[in-house]
Amino acid sequence: TKQKLWGGRFTGKTDPLMHAFNQSLKYDQRMHVVDIKGSIAYAKSLTLVGILTKEEEIKITDGLAVVGKEWQDGTFQIQADDEDIHTANERRLSELIGPLGGKLHTGRSRNDQVATDMRLWLLEEAKDIEQGLKGLIRVLVERADKEKDILLPGYTHLQRGQPIRWSHLLLSHAFSFSSDLQRLKQLIPRVSVSPLGCGALAGNPFVVDREFLAKELGFQSVAENSMWGVGDRDFIVEFLMWSSLSMTHISRMAEDLVIYSTAEFGFVTLSDAYSTGSSIMPQKKNPDSLELLRGKSGRVFGNMAGFLMTLKGLPSTYNKDLQEDKEPLFDAVDNISASFKIAEGVVATLDVHAEKMRAALTMDVLATDLADYLVRKGIPFRETHHISGRAVALAESRKCQLNDLTLEDYKGLSTTFADDIHKVFDFEASVERRESIGGTSRKMVDRQISVLRAILAE
């Protein structure tokens, strides 16, 4: 039977259950592209220090290209003894080119190899994730631009608060996502660090040019300490933290839309494309897309918490526990990528019921404006807050709206009220008064849209 790559010092066989427990190929094979890429760069660096001749290098890199092609075509034959993507590729290379294949790993360890692969893989994925995130921001901005005329109550504590533009709400979510975009860009330099050439832990005795390797692979910098280079997985933790926060934003937006899509609110209807029905209740149209977005956030957070738990207490450099970095990272990447696309689709296809939103605008959401009216006539806000509150209580006791009270009623609360009070009971006027930066006036909503468009164009 064939020997394991590391089998020299062993006389006994691996327990079959242990082999299955140990092997990561079933999930780390998705790194086959970057694993081959890293090996090709490493072969070149070995030529530069005289370990390989140019002809040997070409044989190795040609062989690696064939192995890569087999993965791509789906013809790569996995062998029972293959442990992970690194051993599988090396085993196959040697089958293709003979014992020369055994020179490739000179001075290299799977420890610097796997760390290199993980970083390269994440850098590639991060590009797609960035596009997905931008797609979501874009659809929020475009909707906001088109639907500026729609007004609804803004809520605090899920209680009606003040009138806002629907666009303002959409953009509030877009700003959360735009900070995610900024944070994603900011963490890239810490992912883009090359561990290749760190060896097992102490460094590379054949003095391969690590800066050459980093450049070949497109890394921004080189890990300055080989023990750190092979043992560090902070870039994964950081990405998982980033994903958890961004999924939290998705989840909060989803929750708004779940609430707004109930019959009780009736503000929005999800398109059929993003809803599902009930197996028993024929009338049901459930917002499963939104609920899954909300649910996946817990799962991604779990990946982060779980992996931090794996890391805590590990001694320096490589320990096999680190193989447990893959599934949480892969799962987070898969779920956040899908979530951005689903969220984008949901927002793009949402039916918005402007009249229902409008109908929810009861006059009490102008109580702040009523207090502000008196402020403009010179009364301290603390007093006007109280007077407006009494007007609300009076209307409530008469089961009428604030604008149904007579001028005499108002004068009974404060002699400062005059017949221009009717101007307060105007939702458009209310939102238009919020005209300083960040407000819900048309001009300030337009400003938000241009700020976000500029960010998207960067």
Residues in touch with ligand ARG (CB under 6 A) = 24, 28, 84, 86, 110-111, 114, 318, 320, 322-323
Instruction: Round to whole Å and give the CA distance between 61 and 42.
Output: 10
Looking at the Cβ atoms of 111 and 388, the one nearer to ligand ARG is 111
Judged by beta carbon, residue 57 or residue 84, the one nearer ligand ARG is 84
Minimum gap (Å) between residue 212 Cβ and ligand ARG: 23
Judged by beta carbon, residue 180 or residue 325, the one nearer ligand ARG is 325
CB of 282 to ligand ARG, least distance (A): 50
Catalytic residue among 271, 278, 316, 450: 278
Residue 297, token pair as written in the block: 């956030």
Nearest to 268 by CA among 284, 287, 283: 287
- Which residue, chain included where needed, has tokens 């020299």? 8
- Closer residue to ligand ARG (CB): 19 or 447: 19
Q: Which is nearer to ligand ARG, 261 or 317 (CB)?
A: 317
**CA angle in degrees (0–180, nearest 5) for 110-113-116:** 150
Quote the least distance from Cβ 86 to ligand ARG, whole Å.
6
Which of 44, 110 has the CB closer to ligand ARG? 110
Q: Which two tokens stand for residue 142?
A: 């475009």
CA distance 7 to 444: 68
CB of 83 to ligand ARG, least distance (A): 7
Task: Select 91 or 249, whichever has its Cβ closest to ligand ARG.
Answer: 91
Residue 221 CB neighbours (<10 A): 12
Q: How far is the CB of 200 from ligand ARG (least distance, A)?
A: 7
Task: State the minimum distance, in angstroms, from the CB of residue 310 to ligand ARG.
Answer: 12
**For every residue of the chain, which 3-state class applies, written as one string?**
CCCCCCHHHCCCCCCHHHHHHHCCHHHHHHHHHHHHHHHHHHHHHHHHCCCCCHHHHHHHHHHHHHHHHHHHHCCCCCCCCCCCHHHHHHHHHHHHHHHHHHHCCCCCCHHHHHHHHHHHHHHHHHHHHHHHHHHHHHHHHHHHHHCCCCEEEEEECCEEEEEEEHHHHHHHHHHHHHHHHHHHHHHHHHHCEECCCCCCCCCCCCCCCHHHHHHHHCCCEECCCHHHHHHCCHHHHHHHHHHHHHHHHHHHHHHHHHHHCCCCCCCEECCHHHCECCCCCCCCCECHHHHHHHHHHHHHHHHHHHHHHHHCCCCCCCCHHHHHHHHHHHHHHHHHHHHHHHHHHHHHHCEECHHHHHHCCCHHHHHHHHHHHHHHCCCCHHHHHHHHHHHHHHHHHCCCCHHHCCHHHHHHHCCCCCHHHHHHCCHHHHHHHCCCCCCCCHHHHHHHHHHHHHHHHC
Largest Cα separation within the chain, whole Å, is 101
Verify whether residue 86 is a known catalytic residue: no
- CB of 320 vs ligand ARG, minimal distance in Å: 6
What is the nearest approach in angstroms of ligand ARG to the Cβ of residue 38? 13
Residue length of the chain = 458
Minimum distance from CB of 129 to ligand ARG (Å)? 22
Does the annotation count 278 as an active-site position? yes
Token pair for residue 207? Answer: 């003095």
Which is nearer to ligand ARG, 57 or 117 (by Cβ)?
A: 117
Nearer to ligand ARG, 85 or 365 (CB): 85
Could you give the residue numbers annotated as active site? 157, 278
